[in-house]
Amino acid sequence: MTLSGQIAIAGAYEHPTRFAPDKSESLIMAESARGALEEAGLRLADVDGLFAAGISMGPMGVVNLAEYLNIKPRYLDGTNIGGSSFVAHVSHAAAAIHAGLCEVALILYGSTAASSAMAIGTGLGGGGRDPEAAFVAPYGMTTVGSYALVARRHMHLYGTTPEQLAEIAVTMRQHASLNPEAKMQKRIDVADVLESRMISTPLHLLDCCIISDGGGAVIVTSLERARDLKQPPIVLRGCGEAVCHQEIGSPDLLTIAAKQSSEEAFAMSGLSHDDVDLCTIYDSFTITLLVTLENLGFCKPGEGGAFVEAGRIGLSGALPVNPDGGGLSSNHPGMRGIFLVIEAARQLRGGMGERQVDGAEVALVHGTGGTLGAIHSGATLLLSRD
């Protein structure tokens, strides 16, 4: 029996903070839980499934979180597959609810990546004393560098230009300028991106996501129950997960996990690409968004550069992407997947003011976790109005 059309998002709350030196990860998660429960019309006692991942959460993290929240859920899931974790949590929660193992699933993320001065982009590039990591550690692969390897290959094969990548950063900033909570709201142009400092060729500073604090909460329950709650239910139509790595030979670096996970999600949903009104896509770097659009099937391999030109992924374009401004401009507290789910749900509910995508009925959510050029996960959701 299919999951499609049975499960809904009943709460989607983004913590407004972008810098919270006075808070802990757990506190940001708890405040986010309060926000999502309030808007859904639920109480903490209604939660019987807890899902969470975090940068500094250990193997027992979700258990410790249950203690912090003083709840005793009957279903626990601490799956951590990188920044896409929370997208996967939605499908894991759906499966658990569908199987009767829980009824109200609370998905949480919180992070103080900025106020703790975590150098996510270029501070992890080497070192580590794990024998498995030794095949990367000596070479100084930064997070940015791993994505830059993909960008260089794409440029080589298809002639994709720095200007086309920059166009993505410009569009995300336009969206962020309409989001009062976005960290970076001042508009930029292509020249600003190209003149910003080179981090790892061909990626400039403004090709890279920002680092912020933040967090959020998502509540998943049965569609039947969601219809009795305060918000319009956002229905899960399809989902999929995948992993990509270097295998033991020479795989194509431009075929990413999004291909497999989105094919699963589309097949489950019965929807087609033409049905999708907007996307929320993990934009850790400009190249991430470009190569994800190709692998999701919105354009052919190699056509991503032309696809993102001329405002096609802007709010008034044919396929608006990340109306909130994404990780490039709104917020990026280390693992951004939860905001992809939240913004998609909010857009489908409507009423997002200047950044509302008109007539949004169907949204595709895709999160990438890990490092695109080395090893990464992907998780896709297709969501719709009830």
Partner 1 sequence: MAKQEIEYRAPATNWQTRGFWEGCGRGELVLQRCGDCGTVQHKPRGICASCLSSALEHFVACGRGRVYTYTVTHQNNMPGFRDACPYVLAYVDLEEGPRLMTQVAGCEPDAVEIGMAVKADFVDTGDGLGVPRFVPA
> Please, what is the minimum distance in Å from the beta carbon of residue 200 to partner 1?
5
Answer yes or no whether residue 124 interacts with partner 1 by CB under 8 A: yes
Q: Is 117 near partner 1 (CB under 8 A)? A: no
Estimate the share of the chain in helix, then strand, then coil, as percent rounded to the nearest 5: 40, 20, 40
83-106 core/surface letters (b: 16 or more CB in 10 A; e: else): bbbbbbbbbbbbebbeeeebbbbb
| Interface residue with partner 1, options 37, 40, 108, 141 (CB under 8 A) | 141
Nearest 10 degrees: Cα torsion 345, 16, 320, 234: 0
What's the residue count for the chain?
386
**Which CB atom, from 152 or from 336, has the smaller least distance to partner 1?**
152
Helix (H, G, I), strand (E, B) or coil at 194: helix
DSSP string, 337-377: HHHHHHHHHHHHH---GGGPPTT--EEEEEEEEEETTTEEE
Residues 158-197 that bind partner 1 (CB under 8 A): 197
* Residue 309: CB minimum distance to partner 1, A: 24
Mask of contacts with partner 1, 214-253, x by CB under 8 A? --------------------------------x-xxxx-x
In sequence order, which residues have a C-beta less than 8 Å from that of residue 219 and are 6 or more positions away? Answer: 9, 10, 11, 12, 36, 37, 40, 42, 104, 105, 106, 107
User: Which tokens hold the place of 43?
Assistant: 């109480």
User: How open is the CA angle 194-378-341, to the nearest 5 degrees?
Assistant: 85
Q: Which stretch binds partner 1 (CB under 8 A): 70-78, 108-116, 151-159, 316-324?
A: 151-159
**Does the footprint of partner 1 cover residue 1 (CB under 8 A)?**
no
> Whose Cβ is closer to partner 1: residue 24's or residue 122's?
122
> For the window 247-286, what string marks contact with partner 1 as x by the rule CB under 8 A?
-xxxx-x---------------------------------
148 binds partner 1 (CB under 8 A): yes
Q: Kindly tell me which of 121 and 337 has the beta carbon lying closer to partner 1.
A: 121
291: nearest Cα among 199, 92, 158 = 158
Q: Which stretch binds partner 1 (CB under 8 A): 43-51, 133-141, 269-277, 340-348?
A: 133-141
Residue whose CB is less far from partner 1, 250 or 316: 250
Rg (CA), the chain: 19
Strands (E) across 31-80 are located at 49-52, 75-77
CB of 163 to partner 1, least distance (A): 19
Which window, 75-83, 85-93, 199-207, 235-243, contacts partner 1 (CB under 8 A)? 199-207
At which residue do the structure tokens 């409507």 appear? 350
Which residues of the shown chain bind partner 1 in the complex (CB under 8 A)? 119, 122-142, 144-145, 148-153, 156, 197-203, 246, 248-251, 253, 373-374
